[in-house]
Chains A and B, each alone.
Chain A
Amino acid sequence: MTDPDTRKNVALFVTCLVDLNRPSVAFAALRLLEAANCTIVVPEMQTCCGQIAYNSGDKKSTKDIARAVIRAFQGFDYVVAPSGSCAGMIRHHYAELFEDDDTIMVEVAALSERTYELTSFLHDVCGYHPEGIKYPATLTYHDSCSSLREMKVRDQPRALLSAVDGLELREAEDAAACCGFGGTFCLKYSEISESMVDTKIDNLLKSGAETLAAGDLGCLMNIAGRLKRRGERMKVLHVAEILAGMGDEPGLGEESR
């Protein structure tokens, strides 16, 4: 299977939240990409995609950060992030950011078309299917807004999850609704965010699933944090962790062992 000529040359965009809060997601991504016949590099100069500055209206800082990302991720066949949100930022918003800057447009376009969200990359580009992975539980998948609407990722994670032994997928009502995270939105408008995440959680619990998975750590931290505050017992994992066979890691906000 590992014919070196067909191996894809992939740079992993770790994302700032995964780097800081849940490195196991990046290790899961590495494991999956390797299994999908990729050669992986983790560019050392990466920090963040700049979305937080972009959505706060700080265009200048965003441009500075974006330029660094463009430099750090030059020369790879693909750039893959375990997040629809960060991948969406690079794929769609960098072009907007530099729309009147001809000097960098070529690099931006080249990076943009090579950037993928992890599950869609595994499924659509690598034709990968998990083999021999077990997760004997009921699970519901939350679509992050950027994955769903910006990156058009919906069926790919579900297809991958359905190849996991013992896993039973349950759709939650209004799965396409926002969880109320929204980056700094959840800090600035915490009451509104609370109402949104409660609506989301009520629907997740109604599905009867034991585990929640999603492809974006922001949503997962928001939902897990509110689940804990409400005293609910649903386990929360990143979809990559389940697909990589790391589903017995403690979920977000769970007691560490």
Chain B
Amino acid sequence: MQVTARRFKKNAHGALQDDNIQKAFSKVKGGFPIARAKAAGELPEFDALRDQARDLKNHILDNLDYYLEYFEEQVLLQGGKVHWCSSYADARAAVLEICRAAEAKTVTKGKSMITEEMALNDHLAANGIEPIETDLGEYIIQLAHEYPSHIIAPALHKTKDQVSDLFHQHHEKYGFSERLTDPQALVNEARRILRDKYVAADVGITGANFLIAETGSTVIVTNEGNGDLTQSLPKTHIAVSSIEKVVPTLEDASLFLRLLARSATGQEMSVYTTFSTGPRRTDDIDGPANFHVVLVDSGRSDLLGTNKQDLLRCLKCGACMNHCPVYQAVGGHSYGWVYPGPIGAALNPHMVGLEEARHLPSASTFCGRCEEVCPVRIPLPKIMRHWREEAFQAQVTPKPERWGIGLWAFFAKRPALYRPLTRFAARSLKIMGGRKGVIRRLPLLKGWTDVRDFPAPQGKTFMEQWKKQQRESR
């Protein structure tokens, strides 16, 4: 995908002018956060579980090599294969090789963010293999040639009308000529088309919410059941996963499962939680003949031991974006790469470069709602601030901003100069405000007065009034 993080402000401007996007994303706050609060409230130990989950993830990250090798051993014992990939290119090549060995013409896909990162669909298509997304939201945006605007609700930005048009346009070739508008009818149509695709697919590709070291299992959670059909019907199942998804035991996975759906959608559990352990055994009634796990690093291990390691705790639940007022205002695509919202603001600079993504950690009020709801307590604002510090240090922060802060700090460090300056400013601004008490335009604070009036100061600084009072009372 094309990275457009650099154009964050322009992207945001476009999104703020787009009524459909505004409608779609302003709806977020009335949905997921309320459901999450209810689900969290109904589980007395919810916050204690979050502490446990944070600590366990930290333990895993401190011993990541151990658990990954343990996981590989178990996958091999179960008859599967593990492919270690340090880059997206390696991972794409590994998937393509497996698909070629399976003589694949079509592959079905369960929802997976790591394959979005890798731009896997484009790569498969360019090599003559048709990828078919089976998660309804992913299916919609695949038809539209777009990418997810939300990590668990990828087509959140699409209106029902747009979906009607897309289906009408793309489903005619399957003999569905009527333009449907009823949501249930639209779902049914997609379901009928996808049903045949599942059966015809040579390879099924899913992501993984967890990799369980002690059993060599991969785990996915879905609400549509599409993942199960994707991984159990074709002859070959490939689970693509980033390396930080490994957990030691089944018991540990259950800890995260108790947090994941509650944080994401407010469900106690997702509708389907599916464990895959190796290929089909002789007495299994279904399952793939070949089972592969593609493990992708792509920059993640570089975060270990840094002040941003906590990012690797992420469960990809989407709670941070659901609660983010900036995300709600500008939508997912403004962020310009795979991950939107606070997790994107904190992670994308690492993945696509700070110079490209410098706006993302900067465009936050540090309101702290993301950290407040994160099931694994990632200190997202703190990590965004680290990026700001690095940007300032590396002079990626624009000069006027750096100089402005420097100038202000020069005075703030020198009370003897600061006092007359603020006295002068308070008086001048008071005069500019006149009797109205507000200033309509301030060239030096253009960003302020472009959208708001500036409430004029009362006229004298507190410090000068206080000093005068002290003198007089002596």
Question: Which residues of A come within 8 Å of B, CB atoms?
Answer: 14, 16, 18-24, 26-27, 42, 44-48, 50, 52-59, 61, 64-65, 68, 96, 145-146, 149-150, 174, 176-178, 180-197, 199, 221-222, 224-226, 228-229, 236, 250, 252-256
Taking a contact as CB atoms under 8 Å apart, the answer to whether A194 and B385 are in contact is no
Decide if the interface of chain A is mainly helix, strand, loop or mixed. Answer: helix
Pick 14 A–B contacts, CB within 8 A, sort by A: A14-B462, A26-B462, A46-B415, A56-B397, A61-B413, A180-B325, A180-B365, A191-B13, A192-B12, A192-B330, A193-B451, A194-B452, A196-B326, A197-B451
Give Cα A58 to B444, complex, Å.
21
CB neighbours of A45 from chain B (8 A): 415
Give Cα A20 to B385, complex, Å.
27
Say yes or no for B16: interface residue by CB 8 A criterion: yes
Give Cα A146 to B452, complex, Å.
22
Taking a contact as CB atoms under 8 Å apart, the answer to whether A19 and B325 are in contact is no
* Bitwise interface map of B from 380 to 395 toward A, beta carbon under 8 Å scored 1, else 0: 0010010111111100
CB neighbours of A195 from chain B (8 A): 16, 329-330
Taking a contact as CB atoms under 8 Å apart, the answer to whether B453 and A178 are in contact is no
Say yes or no for B100: interface residue by CB 8 A criterion: no
Taking a contact as CB atoms under 8 Å apart, the answer to whether A191 and B368 are in contact is no
Taking a contact as CB atoms under 8 Å apart, the answer to whether A253 and B456 are in contact is yes
B363's partner among A64, A192, A199, A229 (CB-CB below 8 A) is: A192
CB neighbours of A174 from chain B (8 A): 29
Give Cα A252 to B436, complex, Å.
11
Give Cα A53 to B385, complex, Å.
11
Give Cα A44 to B450, complex, Å.
35
Closest 10 CB pairs of A and B: A182-B365, A57-B392, A225-B452, A187-B447, A57-B388, A23-B462, A61-B409, A178-B367, A253-B455, A194-B451
How many residues does chain B have at the interface if contact means C-beta atoms less than 8 Å apart? 71
Decide if the interface of chain B is mainly helix, strand, loop or mixed. Answer: helix
Give Cα A191 to B453, complex, Å.
14
CB neighbours of A44 from chain B (8 A): 415, 463, 467
Q: A185-B363, A194-B451, A197-B452 are in contact. Are A250 and B12 (CB under 8 A)?
A: no
Q: A18-B462, A228-B455 are in contact. Are A186 and B448 (CB under 8 A)?
A: yes
Taking a contact as CB atoms under 8 Å apart, the answer to whether B462 and A47 are in contact is no
Taking a contact as CB atoms under 8 Å apart, the answer to whether B385 and A55 are in contact is yes
CB neighbours of B328 from chain A (8 A): 199
Q: A61-B409, A225-B438, A255-B437 are in contact. Are A54 and B452 (CB under 8 A)?
A: no
Within 8 A of A (CB), among B383-441: 385, 387-393, 397, 401-402, 405-406, 408-409, 411-413, 415, 418, 422, 425-426, 433, 435-438
- Within the complex, the shortest CB–CB distance from A249 to chain B, in Å, comes to 9
CB neighbours of A64 from chain B (8 A): 409, 413
Taking a contact as CB atoms under 8 Å apart, the answer to whether A56 and B16 are in contact is no
- Within the complex, the shortest CB–CB distance from A90 to chain B, in Å, comes to 14
- Within the complex, the shortest CB–CB distance from A236 to chain B, in Å, comes to 8
Say yes or no for B445: interface residue by CB 8 A criterion: yes
Say yes or no for B362: interface residue by CB 8 A criterion: yes
Taking a contact as CB atoms under 8 Å apart, the answer to whether B365 and A181 are in contact is yes
CB-nearest residue of chain B to A150:
B368
Say yes or no for B372: interface residue by CB 8 A criterion: yes
B448's partner among A21, A24, A96, A187 (CB-CB below 8 A) is: A187
Say yes or no for B454: interface residue by CB 8 A criterion: yes
CB neighbours of B456 from chain A (8 A): 253, 256
Give Cα A186 to B418, complex, Å.
24
Q: A19-B461, A57-B393 are in contact. Are A189 and B9 (CB under 8 A)?
A: yes
Taking a contact as CB atoms under 8 Å apart, the answer to whether B455 and A255 are in contact is no
CB neighbours of A54 from chain B (8 A): 385
- Within the complex, the shortest CB–CB distance from A224 to chain B, in Å, comes to 5
Taking a contact as CB atoms under 8 Å apart, the answer to whether B401 and A225 are in contact is no
Taking a contact as CB atoms under 8 Å apart, the answer to whether B409 and A253 are in contact is no
CB neighbours of B422 from chain A (8 A): 16, 19-20
Q: A14-B462, A64-B409, A188-B401 are in contact. Are A145 and B368 (CB under 8 A)?
A: yes
Within 8 A of A (CB), among B5-59: 9, 12-13, 16, 26, 29
Give Cα A187 to B422, complex, Å.
20
A42-B463, A178-B367, A192-B329 known, 14 other contacts, Cβ within 8 Å: A55-B366, A55-B388, A57-B389, A59-B389, A181-B365, A185-B363, A187-B447, A188-B362, A189-B12, A190-B448, A191-B12, A191-B13, A194-B452, A256-B437
Taking a contact as CB atoms under 8 Å apart, the answer to whether A178 and B369 are in contact is yes
Give Cα A65 to B454, complex, Å.
27
Within 8 A of A (CB), among B257-295: none
Give Cα A64 to B405, complex, Å.
13
CB neighbours of A255 from chain B (8 A): 435-437
CB-nearest residue of chain B to A61:
B409
Give Cα A160 to B454, complex, Å.
29
Give Cα A237 to B319, complex, Å.
33
CB-nearest residue of chain A to B384:
A55
CB neighbours of A57 from chain B (8 A): 385, 387-393, 397
Q: A57-B391, A196-B326 are in contact. Are A20 and B363 (CB under 8 A)?
A: no
